Amino acid sequence: MSADLAQAIRHDGHAFLPGAALRAGFDPAGQALSGAAWEDFAASWDDLRPDEYMADGGRYRLRRHAIFHAEAGGVVQRDPDGPHYQTLNNNPLNGGVQRRFAPVLPAVAESPALAALLSGARAAFEAAGQGARPWRIEMHQFRIEARPGTPGQPTPEGMHRDGVAFVLVALVRRHNVAGGATGIRVDGREGEGHFVLENPLDAVLLDDARVWHGVTPVLPLRDGEPGFRDVLVLTFV
């Protein structure tokens, strides 16, 4: 699995991985990304906190954040909570400031689901890059809410890079929303690709140095009822 992913990332700058394939490759024993372990992990998105840094005044984004590190070939360990920072060049809307978000809860950070996702993504990125190396990893839990008449903006900054080495974006849940198409633009190639993360654990893995990405707004499918789009983002530096 990691070799195939690595080849796609090296050749195309990104790889789309359907949820079933991700489960098979990242959790071959079927114990971390299915059943109660996965349900508990996904349910933690119901306990996120408002993002207070939205320069557009939006109140549609909830999140939690954590920082991890790993020495070359070593285990992933959580670091003390700290700020998230992006330059204005990478995030012209909300960059240029140290942003502090509610921390990921300990049970979530220590969950077998997260361990499987961290391990699988790390293996793919190391195979696509220069092999085992030290990593600084940031984890972001996002919920984008869509209310009647008020779309949710997964990437209000537009097409962007995160300013890291590699990124994994995995869908956790979609409820009563339309839209949310991921756009991909690769440096040196014409055109833009589009796909939708529709099912749990549908994911895209990105070489951030080569790829721009963004997501279209989400709107409620049924009138009078809010919706949401939950994703996990893991960035590797």
The pLDDT of 33-38, averaged and rounded, is 98
CATH of the domain at 200: 2.60.120.620
State the pLDDT at residue 2: 65
The pLDDT of 7-18, averaged and rounded, is 96
State the pLDDT at residue 13: 96
State the pLDDT at residue 86: 87
How far is C-alpha 160 from the geometric centre of its chain's CA atoms? 14
State the pLDDT at residue 55: 86
Cβ within 8 Å of residue 109, ≥6 positions away: 66, 78, 139
Please state the domain count of the chain.
1
Which tens digit of pLDDT belongs to each residue from 70-111? 999 999 999 999 999 988 888 888 889 899 999 999 999 999
The one-letter code for the residue type at 192 is E
Average pLDDT, the chain: 95
d(CA 24, CA 83): 34
Whether residue 1 has pLDDT greater than 80: no
Q: What is the pTM of this model?
A: 0.95
DSSP 115-157: HHHHHHHHHHHHHHTTSS--EEEEEEEEEEEEBTTB-B-S-TT
Which tens digit of pLDDT belongs to each residue from 114-151? 999 999 999 999 999 989 999 999 999 999 999 988 89
User: What are φ and ψ of residue 100, in 5° steps?
Assistant: -110, 125
Query: What residue numbers bound the domain in which 73 lies?
Result: 2-236
